[in-house]
Structure formats: C-alpha cells, structure tokens
Amino acid sequence: MTWILDFILVLGGLIFFHELGHFLAARMLGIGVKTFSLGFGPRLAGITWGSTNYRLSLIPLGGYVSLAGEERDTTEDSGFEEKELFMGRPPWHRMIVVAAGPLFNFLLAWLIFWIIILTHGQMGLAPEVGKLQPESPALAAGLQEGDTVLSIDGKNIIFWSDLAQTIQSSTTDSLDFVINRDGRELNIVIRPQVQELKNIFGETIRRPVVGIIASGESKTLKLDGISGAVAAAEQTWSVTRLICTSIVKMVERVVPMDSIGGPIMIAQAIKQQSERGLLQLLQFTAFISINLGLLNLLPIPVLDGGHLLFFGIETVMRRPLNEKLQAVATKAGLIFLLCLMTFAIINDLTREVLK
C-alpha cells in the first residue's frame, strides 16, 4: 500500500511547489504574506517569523498561501503596511505573483527531467532497424534488419524519434541515409512514399514513409550538466506541446470526452507507475506537473489564468474591471470547474464499472 503514500507525496508536492512559486514571487516584490501552509485544514503546528505564519496543517495534499490585502476593499491588514497589500500593487506585480505558481510547475518538471538525465542518462529507442515492410522503399534501396541509422540528409540521428520526425517532415524526393552495418558506414539513398497514417489522436494524416520498424532496443545517452539541462528543457517543451495539442483536439472532439479523468484515474496511474519503480513515478510526476501548470493558465476565473486575464484587462483599461462583472465571471468559472470535476469523476466511475 506504499502507493497511497506516493499519491499523497506526488499531489501534495505538486500543489505545494505551485504555492511556493506564489510565495517566493510575493516575497521578492515585498508583498506581505500572512500564511504559508504545508497542507490544508486545521493547523497542527507552526511558527510566526516576521509577519508570516508558517504552519503544518492536517490534510497533507498540497498547501496554500494567504497574501495581505487580497481583497480590493481591504485597506489594511494587521501587521502589514499599506505598500505590502497585494491589491494595492500595480497590475504587473500582481501578474508576476499569480503567474509564478504555474511557472513553478514547469520548473519542477524541468528539474525532474534534468535529475533523471543526470543520473540515468537521456533514454529513448535506438534508431535500429527491426523489420522492413514488404515492397517498401527501404527494402528496395537495400536497407537491412539490424542496420543503425546515423544520419539522414546530414542531420545526426540519436534516437528513433529523431529518425521518424526527420522522415515525416521531409519535403524532398529522396533521403540520404548514413547507416552503420557491422561496424561499417554505408550511404543509402531512399525514396520515401507518401501514405495515409493514423496519428496518436486517431486522425488520418498523409506523411512520407520508408517502411521500417524499430527493433525496440533502448539507448542511453550520457550528458553533462549543461547539455542535460538543455535536453530536459526540450523534453519539457515537447510534453507541453503534446498536452496543449491534446486539449485542442479534445475541444475539436477528435479526442473523446470520456478520456477525461479525475482523481480516481490519477490515483490508479500513480499506483501503476509506483509499482514500476521510482524512475517511472518521477517521469509521471513531471507529466502531471506540466498538466497542472497548463490547467492553471487557462483563462477561467478562479484559476490563475483567470486572474491574469482580469489584471491584463486592468492594465489595458488603466482601471480595475467592474467588480460585479468579476463576481459573475468568477461564479461562472467556479460552476464550470465543478461541472468538469463532476464529469471527470463520473468518467472514472464508469470506467470502473465497465472493467
């Protein structure tokens, strides 16, 4: 049952790191922080340092930050000067504090990927040919099973993903492959064919192919600190793009709405990754952290993205958005999120029943 502890640590850690971003940004700008809590609910223990109460709370799923003067009609807060009040600050100060939470989720994902790369190396499928499809361009050109692709049209190929992307994005009639065969480097020219394929979202697309299948062998590339940091940033960006594309495809109804999952699906996924080992659990944590960051950046009132929208409008209009309009939008955003959460939980329960 250690996965339950993993569930608490993953979700609690992600939310805590998110709130840490808000806290550090507020302190950096000199905005007063009333409370910084590790966990929710009743206070178990804590200390007051300066004007901030640092506390440990009963429910260990995350934490929260309470800023001085978060409400616009608050003119003073006990123990804080007027210049320390959040709503008394210019909009761009407030936007920095709000944006720091989601940005820290992306930072956490990057740190996790970087640590994994430094300790285990950058891992991926080797660009080794496993099978050749009958009557394929690769077979006709003389490519053989067991060949390792070193470069295509002068572009170095490190992993199979590099190979696939290079072929599918090509616009020329022929591709110059440099391969390793039994320790010898050979040049082979392959003329790709355009075929209809299914992408990861089930859509039919037309892409150049040469008719080769990966051997399935894995490859690990050792990187130093700087190159590892760059690779971690690229991996973070790649996952972010994939999640953004998935959200768009969901809105377009390409991805079915029943794929939306809630806390039960997340708990099951954490359990599965926990059973597979620490490395897989860390990778999944980075993935969820990016999800959390993107979710909070959506321009929905109640979320950080909604606050950024309000403060952005205030910056352009040079005056705060009408309070009644903000209140209505906030209620609508809250109702939307509650409906979405309910829908996700129903999906989770439906999947459990259909198992």
**DSSP single-letter state for residue 183:** T
**DSSP single-letter state for residue 75:** -
Active site residues: 19
- Strand, coil or helix: 128: strand
Residues 104/190, Cβ–Cβ less than 8 Å? no
- Rounded distance between C-alpha atoms, residue 65 and residue 18, angstroms: 10
- Tell me how long the chain is: 355
Angstrom distances, CA of residue 192 to CA of 76, 129, 130, 151, 212:
70, 16, 18, 16, 11
- Rounded distance between C-alpha atoms, residue 106 and residue 189, angstroms: 41
Among the residues of the chain, which ranges form H helices? 2-28, 91-120, 137-141, 160-168, 225-251, 263-276, 278-297, 304-317, 323-354
194 C-beta neighbours (distance < 10 Å), count: 9
